């Protein structure tokens, strides 16, 4: 299970409680591996850390992993991990309840965009086991840099769960799916016309949202996206 979020938004209390319970139940029941970027400043990483902590308080023998995958240059005081005197410039602290940490160094600092590294690693883990491990991506909030990774997952038929009401990117994608769902469903039926997709949004901000998503999700790939994405 790969969790994607951002540092600028925090789910409301209701969504946070539901996420905590749902993730905890799924992780405990399936011995799941949960992947985040591991930064304490990101709400979803902190939420996963809380799940790990609470679960192990209840049962010390519990067997699921929370794996942090991020950029070495993002870590605050990363020099201490190598016993170096030269201080790093990263501004993100590690969430300390994760069970494993994997960092790569691409020479950049303070960029939350991990490119396709985390996504590719998750897919390799899924395929590399003796039996194929189910993989799912969960978007909570999120920022623009997550779009290419989400698109890649959908093209590879990896389910993407979008938590509506959790933050900027998730809310925009949910809006986009609702606006276009009837259009793509009706396009499968020969000679059937639909007017739903012709409805213009009422304000400029909404138009900008849709234009932004269209750049990354072309209409040719829409059927793949709709068949794999789940709106919660």
Would you state the torsion angle of the CA atoms of residues 8, 175, 228, 19, taken in this order, to the nearest 10 degrees? Answer: 40
Give a yes or no: residue 206 inside a domain. no
3-state secondary structure of 67: strand
Give the domain range for residue 39.
2-166
Position 70 pLDDT exceeds 70: yes
End-to-end CA separation in angstroms for the chain:
16
Position 96 pLDDT exceeds 80: yes
CA 215, CA 143: separation in Å to the nearest integer?
15
The mean per-residue pLDDT over the stretch 78-96 comes to: 72
The gap from C-alpha 37 to its chain's centroid, in whole angstroms, comes to 10
Give a yes or no: residue 207 inside a domain. no
| Token pair for 156 | 């590879």
The mean per-residue pLDDT over the stretch 62-72 comes to: 87
Nearest Cα residue to 89 out of 68, 65, 105: 105
The mean per-residue pLDDT over the stretch 147-156 comes to: 88
Residue pair 141/41 in contact by the 8 Å Cβ criterion: no
pLDDT-above-70 percentage for the chain: 70
What local confidence, expressed as pLDDT, does residue 61 receive? 81
Position 67 pLDDT exceeds 90: yes
Position 194 pLDDT exceeds 50: no
Instruction: Beginning with the edge strand found earlier in the chain, give each strand of the sheet holding 100-104 in spatial order.
Output: 100-104, 65-71, 33-36, 2-4, 137-139, 160-162, 229-231
Give a yes or no: residue 44 inside a domain. yes
pLDDT-above-90 percentage for the chain: 12
Give a yes or no: residue 191 inside a domain. no
CATH label of the domain that carries residue 46? 3.40.50
Position 136 pLDDT exceeds 80: yes
Position 219 pLDDT exceeds 60: no
Position 147 pLDDT exceeds 70: yes
Give a yes or no: residue 172 inside a domain. no
What local confidence, expressed as pLDDT, does residue 132 receive? 73
Would you state the torsion angle of the CA atoms of residues 57, 61, 65, 68, taken in this order, to the nearest 10 degrees? Answer: 50
What local confidence, expressed as pLDDT, does residue 22 receive? 87
pLDDT band at 99 (very low <50, low <70, confident <90, very high): very high
What local confidence, expressed as pLDDT, does residue 97 receive? 93
How confident is the prediction for the chain on average, in pLDDT?
76
The partner residues of 104 in beta bridges, in order of sequence, read: 71
What local confidence, expressed as pLDDT, does residue 98 receive? 94
pTM metric for this prediction: 0.74
| Token pair for 30 | 């399936």
pLDDT band at 212 (very low <50, low <70, confident <90, very high): low
Phi-psi region of 191 (alpha: psi -120 to 50; beta: other; left: phi over 0): left
The gap from C-alpha 48 to its chain's centroid, in whole angstroms, comes to 12
Domain count, the chain: 1
Give a yes or no: residue 171 inside a domain. no
Sign of the CA dihedral with 148 first, then 124, 69, and 97 last: positive
Which of the residue ranges 31-45, 81-95, 155-169 would you say has the lowest mean pLDDT? Answer: 81-95
Residue pair 140/170 in contact by the 8 Å Cβ criterion: yes
| Token pair for 87 | 């201080």
Give a yes or no: residue 98 inside a domain. yes
């Amino acid at each position: 299970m790969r969790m994607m979020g951002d540092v600028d938004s925090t789910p409301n209390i209701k969504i946070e409680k539901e996420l905590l319970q749902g993730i905890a139940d799924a992780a405990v029941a399936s011995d799941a591996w949960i992947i985040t970027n591991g930064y304490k400043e990101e709400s979803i990483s902190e939420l996963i850390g809380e799940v790990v902590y609470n679960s192990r308080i209840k049962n010390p023998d519990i067997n699921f992993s929370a794996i942090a995958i991020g950029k070495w240059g993002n870590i605050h005081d990363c020099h201490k991990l190598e016993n170096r005197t030269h201080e790093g410039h990263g501004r993100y602290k590690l969430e300390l309840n994760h069970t494993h940490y994997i960092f790569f160094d691409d020479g950049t600092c303070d960029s939350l965009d991990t490119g396709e590294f985390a996504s590719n690693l998750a897919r390799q883990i899924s395929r590399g086991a003796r039996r194929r491990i189910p993989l799912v991506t969960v978007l909570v909030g999120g920022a623009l840099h997550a779009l290419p990774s989400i698109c890649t997952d959908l093209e590879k038929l990896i389910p993407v769960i979008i938590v509506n009401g959790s933050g900027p990117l998730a809310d925009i994608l949910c809006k986009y799916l609702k606006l276009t769902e009837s259009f793509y469903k009706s396009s499968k039926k020969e000679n059937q016309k639909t007017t739903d997709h012709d409805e213009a949004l009422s304000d400029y901000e909404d138009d900008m949202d849709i234009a932004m998503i269209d750049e990354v999700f072309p209409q040719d790939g829409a059927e793949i996206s709709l068949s794999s994405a789940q709106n919660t």
